[in-house]
């Protein structure tokens, strides 16, 4: 259940952030009097891409605790694996047609990655706090 919750939360958050980036790109294009155009499947491909980008997060569900170096290496692998998925989906669905758009997608990826990573940490710290408070109230009753 925890894994499903993680995938759902990250997929919704990532989809929201991607749509926000697309909206900002549209706003900038509008302000420059350069209308943006994209095919009908681009928003749908962003949603599907969001789901596939969240699957590597399952790597962090291990049976044994990781050392600090193992955790850093796993996080770097996670970052690069998701970047590969983003670039692959970008190539497959023509999210970028030249180096400028490739660079925009790469920068947006880095920003989104760190926003989602920090948001997920915030959620898990909040859940941990709620669990600790519930355990404390149970112990107080005894």
Among residues 96, 98, 100, 116, the alpha carbon closest in space to that of 9 is found at 116
Q: Please compute the mean of the pLDDT values over residues 69-84 and round it to a whole number.
A: 90
Question: Is there a contact between 112 and 21 (Cβ–Cβ < 8 Å)?
Answer: yes
What local confidence, expressed as pLDDT, does residue 142 receive? 62
Which of 48, 37, 114 minimizes the C-alpha distance to 79? 114
Place of tokens 């989906």: 89
How many domains does the chain fold into?
1
Higher pLDDT among residues 92 and 117, named by residue: 92
pTM over 0.85: no
Question: Which domain range does residue 34 map to?
Answer: 2-141
CA atoms of 84 and 45, how far apart (whole Å) = 15
């Amino acid at each position: 259940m925890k894994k499903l919750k993680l995938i759902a939360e990250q997929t919704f958050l990532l989809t929201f952030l991607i749509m926000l980036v697309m909206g900002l790109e549209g706003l900038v294009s509008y302000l420059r009097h350069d209308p943006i155009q994209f095919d009908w499947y681009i928003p749908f491909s962003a949603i599907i891409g969001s789901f596939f980008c969240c699957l590597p997060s399952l790597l962090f569900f291990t049976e044994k605790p990781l050392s600090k170096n193992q955790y850093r290496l796993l996080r770097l692998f996670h970052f690069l694996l998701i970047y590969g998925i983003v670039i692959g989906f970008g190539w497959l669905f023509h999210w970028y047609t030249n180096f400028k758009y490739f660079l925009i997608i790469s920068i947006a990826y880095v920003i989104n990655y760190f926003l989602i990573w920090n948001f997920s940490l915030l959620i898990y710290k909040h859940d941990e706090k709620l669990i600790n408070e519930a355990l404390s109230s149970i112990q107080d009753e005894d």
